[in-house]
């Protein structure tokens, strides 16, 4: 037994001993997120509910990193772990301070309900910007590193406890999430919806898993025998605790109608492995035990799991024993945190189009016009589940700061984000004339359009203009496209900056605007990163973690969870901007690719890739490997390995990609995988997908290799 295993067993033993001293009522009260103190046992009050999606959320000042979808666009595993470690540091710094003053309120604990590893299968989903995009492999790889960053690498203690959510098959629609039944085939379940969760459990040892609101194949996720007992704890040997989504247990009887009342609902959840209730319905467990629906032994098992987590966090040990107890409050919002945040913002910005306008030459412009509803919109910097920054830098402010007194910056909101006027008593289009005036006076126009978390987000979010949080379509809302046309028709050079957490069908912009930057929700430093990108202080390097479609009409029904014709892996139409696409200012090319074998063996395939930067600017590129099986019904070429590589100007760099045997597995309709002997595969290695649209946009064709599988692996659940 390893030292770590012995330590964990020790925590389990201590937790079991502590739970044995509690009354049934005391144990049950520990199973709700606002767990009260048990003074006679020296158990402090603890609130399990805290958020750390892209920074410590909802608890005052903290660093606001780019929203998760922006972090995904970095395609940088090392950066994800570094950002998560910073979030854990700030969580500990705030927790240590709050404990000194007796503050045990909500959002003040060490259990962070992040990351969100649901698959962003439909661009209309309002919560998609909380995820790492539409691809299972990218999501899994980034989530594993994010979890490792949150939980740390100490041999005895967790820095914080991460939580993979929402398990499973959950991605809208938001307005019916409390009653919706996501029907999914075994193939899609195993091939698309579960791999990221599996990696979180088996590779990252995530401490917690949160169930989803909806049903999956008729079972409510927070009480699903298939998901929680058979797969999570059975197949994957998950050893942490399961938490319900907030107030999801009451949906069992109120909306899913699978139970008759509160007592039956809490019994179903606990019997199938849900240990912690975000909410208070688990207090009905007293009645469930009395009625024989749940045993006290089942309660003991759940509470022991919860206290094991608290022991792992060092909450019952002296502070001097726990290395993270010494993290001071000064670590929050420190200069180092601001610097990392700026790096993350820079790395998240995707250059979608550049007809030679970028990077801008500052000396050419005397007046720069900045227009659009997102030019000075702080909400468009941060997305949802956000903290409070000590300073926000919007695109307008970033350009003002960067250009200083030497260049005049003119500003007009131009239009409302989604309504037809800004002023309540005004006529429609009340800011369009001002925008025309700014365009007329300017040498360059930067148009900032898109969405914010008031338009796309979670069902029930305060101020969500579309009520459910989902987008009704992929169009720019309100008068935004009209504003863009005004800028273009002025005859001045135009740069479009999109701030949005999801794909938009910007066909007019693609046809008419010379430069387009996808900024996501780039964090509190986002405006500075955008200004520096436009003027060439660094080369963009991010790639799209989602597909940008041309029309809403080409999408399958939002409620259809089949992957048929969904995402780049199965879509049949041509994308506007494909998954994996993003331009740079650099001149990096792949000089050569060498494979260690010409057929797929038990050890998979290793590819040695040599990159050369022929330009004068240091830059980074994302080397991507895609696999396509020559088999009926197989997906399109799928991402199976990637690596972000920095290459200094005029130099060459070698890197290596490893594709394990599983990268070549094919899924059957029953959800099992197999690698059949003599199956042919095409392996593509480049800076994008191998599809025709990506090749046309980048001007580069990936290196391609035909491989044959020389192994016949027995089918198994993957």
- Tens digit of pLDDT for each residue in 213-241? 999 999 999 999 999 999 999 999 999 99
pLDDT of residue 489: 98
Candidates 287, 8, 15; CA nearest to 156 is 8
Residue linked to tokens 């990163």: 529
pLDDT greater than 70 at residue 338: yes
pLDDT of residue 677: 66
Mean pLDDT value of segment 557-585: 97
Mean pLDDT value of segment 452-466: 81
- Tens digit of pLDDT for each residue in 480-501? 999 999 999 999 999 999 999 9
Burial 477-502 (b: 16+ CB within 10 A, else e): bbbbbebbebbbebebbbbbbbbbbb
The answer to whether 435 and 486 have CB atoms below 8 angstroms apart is yes
The least confident of 196-200, 674-678, 685-689 is 674-678
DSSP for 523-555 reads -TTHHHHHHHHHTTSS------SS-B-S-STTS
Q: Active-site residue 245, yes or no?
A: yes
pLDDT greater than 70 at residue 715: no
Whether 588-717 and 3-30+162-312 are alike in CATH topology: the answer is: no
Mean pLDDT value of segment 288-299: 98
- Give the pLDDT band (50/70/90) at residue 679: confident
CA distance 514 to 115: 36
Question: What are the structure tokens assigned to 7, written together?
Answer: 């330590």
pLDDT of residue 714: 46
The least confident of 193-202, 555-564, 705-714 is 705-714
pLDDT greater than 90 at residue 710: no
Domain layout of the chain by residue ranges = 3-30+162-312, 588-717
Mean pLDDT value of segment 682-700: 98
Q: Which CATH superfamily is domain 3-30+162-312 in?
A: Glycoside hydrolase, family 3, N-terminal domain (3.20.20.300)
CA distance 138 to 147: 14
pLDDT greater than 60 at residue 672: yes
Region at 170 (left for phi over 0; alpha for psi -120 to 50; beta for the rest): beta
Question: What are the structure tokens assigned to 415, written together?
Answer: 């239009």
pLDDT greater than 70 at residue 462: no
Among 3.40.630.30, 3.30.450.40, 3.40.50.2020, 2.60.40.10, name the CATH number for the domain at 588-717.
2.60.40.10
pLDDT of residue 464: 67
Question: What are the structure tokens assigned to 585, written together?
Answer: 């200012």
Residue linked to tokens 């701030």: 499
Mean pLDDT value of segment 371-377: 98
3-state secondary structure of 332: coil
> What is the 3-state secondary structure of 412-471?
ECCCCCCCCCCCCCCCCCCCHHHHHHHHHHCCEEEEEEECCCCCCCCCCCCCCCCCCCCC
Of residues 640 and 712, which shows the higher confidence score? 640
Mean pLDDT value of segment 444-463: 90
3-state secondary structure of 408: strand
pLDDT greater than 80 at residue 1: no
CA distance 593 to 110: 45
3-state secondary structure of 248: coil
CA distance 588 to 607: 18
3-state secondary structure of 594: strand
Report CA-CA distances (Å) from 93 to 52, 86, 104, 110: 14, 10, 14, 10
Whether the pTM exceeds 0.85: the reply is yes
Question: What are the structure tokens assigned to 596, written together?
Answer: 């260690």
pLDDT of residue 601: 87
How much is the mean pLDDT over the chain? 96
The answer to whether 278 and 232 have CB atoms below 8 angstroms apart is no
pLDDT of residue 716: 45
Mean pLDDT value of segment 56-79: 98
- Give the pLDDT band (50/70/90) at residue 459: confident
**Cα dihedral 192/172/50/376 (nearest 10):** 110
Cis ω for the linkage preceding 166 (within 30 of 0): yes
Phi, psi of 567 (to 5 degrees): 60, 170
Sign for the CA dihedral angle at 303, 306, 307, 308 comes to positive
pLDDT greater than 80 at residue 465: no
Mean pLDDT value of segment 653-681: 91
Options 245, 251, 430, 461, the catalytic residue:
245
Residues in Cβ contact with 101 at an 8 Å cutoff, skipping those fewer than 6 apart: none
- Tens digit of pLDDT for each residue in 132-182? 999 999 999 999 999 999 999 999 999 999 999 999 999 999 999 999 999
3-state secondary structure of 518: strand
- Give the pLDDT band (50/70/90) at residue 468: confident
Residues in Cβ contact with 256 at an 8 Å cutoff, skipping those fewer than 6 apart: 178, 179, 181, 215, 220
């Amino acid at each position: 037994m390893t030292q770590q295993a012995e330590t964990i067993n020790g925590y389990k033993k201590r937790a079991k001993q502590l739970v044995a001293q509690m009354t049934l009522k005391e144990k049950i009260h520990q199973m709700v997120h606002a767990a009260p103190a048990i003074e006679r046992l020296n158990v402090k009050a603890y609130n399990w509910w805290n958020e750390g999606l892209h920074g410590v959320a909802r608890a005052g000042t903290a660093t606001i990193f780019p929203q998760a979808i922006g972090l995904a666009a970095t395609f940088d595993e090392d950066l994800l772990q570094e950002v998560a470690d910073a979030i854990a540091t700030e969580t500990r710094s705030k927790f240590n301070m709050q404990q000194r003053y007796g503050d045990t309120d909500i959002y003040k604990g060490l259990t962070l309900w992040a990351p969100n590893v649901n698959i962003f299968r439909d661009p209309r989903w309002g919560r998609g910007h909380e995820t790492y995009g539409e691809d299972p492999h990218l999501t899994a790889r980034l989530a594993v590193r994010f979890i490792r960053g949150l939980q740390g690498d100490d041999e005895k203690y967790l820095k914080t406890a991460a939580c993979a959510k929402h398990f499973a098959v959950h991605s809208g629609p938001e307005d019916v999430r409390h009653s919706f039944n996501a029907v999914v085939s075994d193939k899609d379940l195993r091939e698309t919806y579960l791999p990221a969760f599996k990696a979180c459990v088996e590779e990252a040892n995530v401490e917690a898993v949160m169930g989803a609101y909806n049903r999956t194949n008729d079972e409510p996720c927070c009480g699903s025998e298939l998901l929680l007992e058979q797969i999570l704890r059975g197949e994957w040997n998950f050893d942490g605790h399961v938490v319900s989504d907030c107030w999801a247990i009451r949906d069992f009887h109120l909306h899913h109608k699978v139970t008759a009342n509160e007592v039956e609902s809490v019994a179903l959840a606990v019997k199938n492995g849900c240990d912690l209730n975000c909410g208070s319905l688990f207090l009905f467990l007293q009645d469930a035990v009395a009625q024989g629906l749940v045993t006290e032994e089942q309660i003991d098992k759940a509470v022991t799991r919860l206290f094991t987590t608290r022991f792992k966090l060092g909450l019952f040990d002296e502070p001097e024993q726990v290395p993270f107890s010494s993290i001071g409050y000064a670590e929050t919002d420190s200069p180092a945190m601001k610097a990392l945040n700026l790096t993350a913002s820079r790395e998240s910005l995707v250059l979608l189009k550049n007809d030679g306008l970028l990077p801008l030459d500052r000396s050419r412009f005397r007046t720069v016009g900045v227009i659009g509803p997102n030019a000075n919109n702080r909400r468009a910097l941060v997305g949802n589940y956000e903290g409070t920054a000590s300073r926000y830098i919007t695109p307008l402010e970033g350009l003002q700061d960067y250009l200083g007194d030497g260049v005049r910056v003119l500003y007009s909101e131009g239009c409302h984000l989604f309504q037809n006027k800004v002023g309540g008593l005004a006529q429609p289009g009340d800011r369009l004339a001002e925008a025309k005036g700014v365009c007329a006076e300017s040498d360059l126009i930067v148009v900032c359009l898109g969405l914010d978390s008031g338009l796309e987000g979670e069902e029930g979010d305060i101020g969500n203009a579309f009520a459910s949080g989902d987008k009704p379509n992929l169009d720019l809302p309100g008068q935004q496209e009209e504003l863009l046309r005004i800028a273009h028709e002025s005859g001045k050079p135009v740069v479009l900056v999109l701030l949005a957490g999801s794909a938009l069908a910007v066909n007019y912009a693609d046809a008419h605007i010379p430069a387009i930057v996808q900024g996501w929700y780039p964090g509190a430093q986002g405006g500075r990163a955008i200004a520096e990108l436009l003027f060439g202080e660094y080369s963009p390097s991010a790639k799209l973690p989602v597909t940008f479609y041309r029309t809403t009409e080409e999408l399958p029904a939002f409620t259809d969870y089949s992957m048929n014709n969904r995402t780049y892996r199965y879509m049949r139409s041509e994308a506007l901007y494909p998954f994996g696409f993003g331009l740079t200012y650099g001149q990096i090319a792949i000089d050569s690719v060498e494979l260690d074998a010409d057929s797929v063996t038990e050890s998979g395939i290793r590819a040695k890739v040599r990159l050369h930067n022929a330009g004068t600017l240091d830059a980074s590129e994302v080397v991507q490997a895609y696999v396509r099986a020559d088999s009926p019904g197989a997906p399109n070429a799928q991402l199976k390995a990637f690596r972000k590589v920095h290459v200094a100007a005029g130099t060459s760099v070698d890197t290596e990609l490893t594709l394990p045997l599983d990268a070549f597995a094919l899924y059957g309709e029953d959800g099992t995988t197999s690698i059949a002997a003599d199956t042919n595969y095409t392996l593509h290695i480049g800076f994008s997908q191998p599809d025709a649209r990506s090749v046309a946009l980048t001007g580069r064709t990936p290196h391609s290799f035909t491989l044959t599988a020389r192994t016949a692996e027995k089918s198994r659940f993957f």
